[in-house]
Amino acid sequence: MARLSREFYAQDTLEAARALLGKVLVRRLDGETLAGRVVETEAYVGRCDKACHAYHYRRTARTETLFAPPGTAYIYLIYGMYHCLNFVTEPEGEPAAVLLRALQPVAGIETMARLRYGDKPMTDYRRKNFLNGPGKVCRALALTRAENGLDLTGDTLFLCGRPEDAGLPSFPAAARERIVTGPRIGVDYAEEARDFPWRFRLVREE
DNA sequence: AGAACGATCGACT
DNA sequence: GTCGATCGTTCTA
């Protein structure tokens, strides 16, 4: 199964955040395959970014994962009730990562819907807001701190360029899309870094 | 030991 | 648009 290599993750974080758009995230759970297409990311760079947990190489129990090799999953608890999934980037020792903010569902949709909504029926509102936030993505993929530190070159959680790389049916004809850049969400406390245009979204052209 | 604070979400006016 | 939930992490003393 072709998946993104450690060298891919070792690149510059801003480049990685852009390059990850359109890639397919695969989560194997109890023998089932859950998958989604990456449509929104944010970059966090410890070297120079006050919004990054490892700003100025700050090393604590939590940030230890950001110092792990590129291609490691950094998952942390936020606001006491949600989790965020990040992909560790740059050469080992440079604490940096790409936050996954949104997916388009690709496979295992019923299971993801159950993880997200339980037995509540699917509605248009729920379909529209299914995987459009970092906490929602982690809920739908059953990712918690227990999965923090997972190796993304392994079999449990990984990214690939196309669905066929994971044995999934290919996408229908690709719509025209472009990358929209803007400031990151929820980092108003981060002084000058709050305005860095380090959020990347894949949006359909009209 | 205690306090402050979130890289969010969903319910509600 | 506003607001509260909820708890691990981090910092202060």
**What gap in Å lies between CA A163 and CA A10, rounded to an integer?**
23
pLDDT for residue A174 is more than 80 = no
Residues within 7 Å (Cβ) of strand B: A 42, 44, 51-54, 74, 77-82, 84, 86, 97, 99, 116, 129, 133-137, 184-187, 189
Give the model confidence (pLDDT) of A181-194 as tens digits.
999 999 999 999 99
Using pLDDT thresholds of 50, 70 and 90, give the confidence band for residue A47: very high
pTM assigned to the model: 0.97
Q: List C-alpha distances in Å: A60 to A43, A54, A57, A71, A89.
A: 20, 8, 10, 20, 18
Distance in Å, residue A1 CA to nucleotide B3 C1': 49
Q: What backbone phi and psi angles, to 5 degrees, belong to A201?
A: -130, 145
Distance in Å, residue A33 CA to nucleotide C1 C1': 39
Residues within 7 Å (Cβ) of strand C: A 53, 58, 60-63, 76-77, 79-81, 145
How much is the pLDDT for A114? 98
**Could you tell me which residue, A174 or A9, shows the higher pLDDT?**
A9
How much is the pLDDT for A163? 97
Give the model confidence (pLDDT) of A56-87 as tens digits.
999 999 999 999 999 999 999 999 999 999 99
